[in-house]
């Protein structure tokens, strides 16, 4: 597939772990590192979220700021279009995009899995020959997608995401609503993984997924090979 369509970046609106006061949100680098690779080759992006508008940032992700991430964090376009005024998912036309990319941060575990608008967008892009991509906890956006036979889209597919081992290492096991690795397997996926917190991404047809917060650029590289 090769066209001039944009890539849709999906961000969370969830600021805390469920009903707790423990802050979460977008893992900043999982957006900025991905779009950085796309911008290098002239691919444009739009930003959406389930509700639209404000996107909170996981404060822990700011501990990983480097010069590149900071440049996006301070960029007026990223602030305006991604963090302050993301497009509501219900307003998105899937035909405008060659791929959708689900970012991570623990917040996505609450507002990505069962959002009907995100599901429609993803399934339409897939049917149009486009790509569904994710990184880390963003795999939550793939769990309940369906194929033309209303079967799990990820069934029989090789995918990856934030692993159970990594969840234990994160210290958030008791605060999350499910384990990505377990749910992926329950939905029939062939869940692959590398050593905890090492970069890893895999492609299976029109699905491209990355394991953890160190994998956004790997996901982007695989996608670029298919749409440029």
Measured distance CA(96)–CA(153) in Å, rounded: 21
Alpha helices in 112-203 (DSSP H): 116-127, 164-170, 180-186
* Both tokens assigned to 21: 């006061």
| Residue 137: active-site member | yes
User: How far from 200 is each of 105, 131, 132, CA to CA, in Å?
Assistant: 17, 18, 17
The two structure tokens encoding residue 70:
């900071």
Selected catalytic residue, list 137, 166, 181, 218: 137
Q: Is 33 considered catalytic here?
A: no
- Is 106 considered catalytic here? no
What is the spatial distance between Cα 18 and Cα 15, in angstroms, rounded to a whole number? Answer: 9
Catalytic-role residue among 30, 33, 106, 136: 136
Residue 187: name the closest of 159, 163, 212 by CA: 159
DSSP line for 74-106: T-HHHIIIIII-BEEGGG--GGGEEEEEE--ST
Q: Which of 33, 166, 167, 218 is catalytic?
A: 167
Residues serving a catalytic function are 136-137, 167
């Amino acid at each position: 597939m090769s066209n001039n369509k944009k890539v849709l970046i999906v961000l969370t609106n969830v600021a805390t772990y469920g009903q707790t006061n423990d802050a979460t949100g977008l893992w900043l680098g999982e957006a900025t590192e991905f779009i950085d690779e796309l911008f290098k080759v002239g691919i444009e992006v739009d930003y959406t979220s389930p509700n639209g508008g404000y996107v909170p940032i996981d404060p822990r992700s700011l501990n990983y700021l480097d010069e590149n991430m900071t440049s996006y964090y301070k960029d007026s376009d990223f602030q305006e279009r991604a963090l302050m005024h993301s497009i509501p998912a219900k307003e998105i036309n899937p035909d405008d995009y060659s791929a959708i990319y689900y970012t991570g941060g623990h917040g996505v575990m609450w507002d990505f899995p069962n959002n009907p608008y995100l599901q429609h967008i993803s399934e339409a892009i897939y049917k149009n020959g486009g790509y569904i991509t994710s990184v880390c906890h963003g795999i939550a956006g793939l769990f309940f997608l369906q194929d033309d036979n209303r079967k799990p889209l990820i069934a029989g597919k090789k995918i990856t995401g934030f692993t159970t081992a990594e969840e234990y290492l994160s210290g958030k096991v008791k605060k999350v609503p499910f384990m990505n690795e377990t749910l992926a397997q329950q939905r029939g996926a062939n869940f692959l993984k590398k050593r905890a917190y090492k970069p890893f991404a895999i492609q299976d047809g029109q699905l491209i997924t990355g394991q953890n917060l160190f994998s956004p650029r790997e996901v982007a590289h695989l996608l670029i090979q298919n749409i440029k």
